[in-house]
A and B are shown apart, each in its own frame.
Chain A
Amino acid sequence: MPEYKWPDANDRDLIGKRISRLDGPVKVTGTAKYAFDINRPGMLFTRTVYCPHAHARITKLDTSEAAKMPGVKAVRIIQNVGTEIQWALDEIVAIAATSEDAAEDAVRAVKVEYEVLPHFVNGEAGEKAPQAKAAQQNVVGDPNGAKAAAAVTSKGYYGIPTISHCCMEAHGQVCEWTDEQHLEAWCTTQSVAGLPAQFAEGTGIPAANVRTHCEYMGGGFGSKFSVDRWGVECAKLAKDAKAPVKWMLEREPELTIAGDRPSAYAEIEVGASQDGTITYWSSKSWGSGGPGGSGSPPMPYVIQPANRRHQHISVPTHMASARAWRAPNHPQACFLTMSAIDDLAAALKMDPLDFFMKNAAITQRAAVYQEELQKGAELIEWKKKWRPRGQNGPGPVKRGLGVSMHTWGGLGHNSNCEVSIFPDGSVEAKLASQDLGTGTRTVIAIVLAETLGLPLNAVKVSIGDSSFPPSGASGGSTTVGGVSASTRRAAQLALEQLLVKVAPDLGVPPEQLEAEKGTIRVKGNPTKSMPWKQAAARVGMTPLTAKGANPGAGKLIDQGVGGIQMAEVSVDTETGIVKMEKMVAVQDCGLIIDLKTAESQCYGALIMGICYALTEEKIIDPVTGRMLNANMEFYKLAGIGDIGELVVHMMTGPEYDKRGVIGLGEPPVISPGAAISNAVANAIGVRVPHLPLTPDRVLAALEKGGMS
Chain B
Amino acid sequence: MAKDKKAAPPGVSRRDFFRGSAVGALSTGLLSSTVAEGAQTAGAQVLGPGPVPVTLQINGKSHRLQLEPRVTLLDALRNHLDLTGSKKVCDRGTCGACTVLMDGKPVYACAVLAIDAQGKRIETIESLGTPEKLHPIQAAFVEHDAQQCGFCTPGFVVASKAFLDRNPRPTRQQIEKGLGGNLCRCGTYAGIRAALLAVKAGKGGGNA
**Residues in A lying within 8 Å of B, measured CB to CB:** 20-21, 23-34, 36-37, 39, 45, 99-101, 104, 166-170, 216-219, 221, 248, 250-251, 436-438, 596-597, 599-600, 603-608, 628, 630-633, 637-641, 643, 646
Contact = CB atoms under 8 A, between A and B. Distances in A.
Nearest to A165: B185
Contacts of B84: 30, 33, 36-37, 39
Given A28-B134, A37-B84, A641-B176, A168 B149 contact: yes
Contacts of A218: 87, 149-151
Nearest to B147: A27
B151 to A, nearest CB: 3
A23 B141 CA distance: 12
Given A27-B150, A29-B134, A101-B71, A437 B186 contact: yes
Interface stretch (B27-35, B88-96, B197-205): B88-96
Interface in B53-73: 68, 70-71
A31 B180 contact: no
Contacts of A99: 68, 71, 79
A20 B145 CA distance: 6
Interface in B109-161: 124-126, 128-132, 134, 138, 141-143, 145-154, 157
In this complex, the interface size class of chain B, counting residues with CB under 8 Å from chain A, is 35 or more
Interface of B: 7, 10, 13, 15, 68, 70-71, 75, 78-79, 82, 84-92, 94-95, 97, 124-126, 128-132, 134, 138, 141-143, 145-154, 157, 175-177, 179-180, 182-193
B141 A168 contact: no
Contact of B90 (A248, A632, A638): A632
Contacts of B129: 28-29
Given A168-B97, A168-B151, A438-B148, A604 B183 contact: no
A603 B149 contact: no
A104 B15 contact: yes
B71 A26 contact: no
Nearest to A607: B187
Instruction: Report, nearest first, the 6 A-B pairs whose CB atoms are least far apart.
Output: A30-B85, A607-B187, A218-B151, A27-B150, A604-B187, A437-B149
17 contacts: A21-B142, A25-B142, A29-B134, A29-B138, A30-B124, A39-B82, A99-B79, A104-B13, A104-B15, A167-B185, A168-B185, A169-B149, A597-B145, A608-B186, A631-B92, A640-B175, A646-B190
A423 B151 CA distance: 37
Nearest to B186: A604
B75 A640 contact: no
B54 to A, nearest CB: 14
A169 B88 CA distance: 8
A39 B83 CA distance: 10
Contacts of A216: 149-150
Contact of B143 (A20, A101, A606, A639): A20
Contacts of A607: 184, 187-190
B185 to A, nearest CB: 5
Contact of B151 (A219, A250, A438, A606): A219
Given A20-B142, A36-B84, A251-B90, 17 more contacts: A20-B145, A24-B142, A30-B84, A166-B185, A167-B151, A168-B184, A170-B89, A218-B150, A218-B151, A248-B88, A437-B150, A628-B10, A633-B7, A633-B92, A633-B94, A637-B184, A641-B177
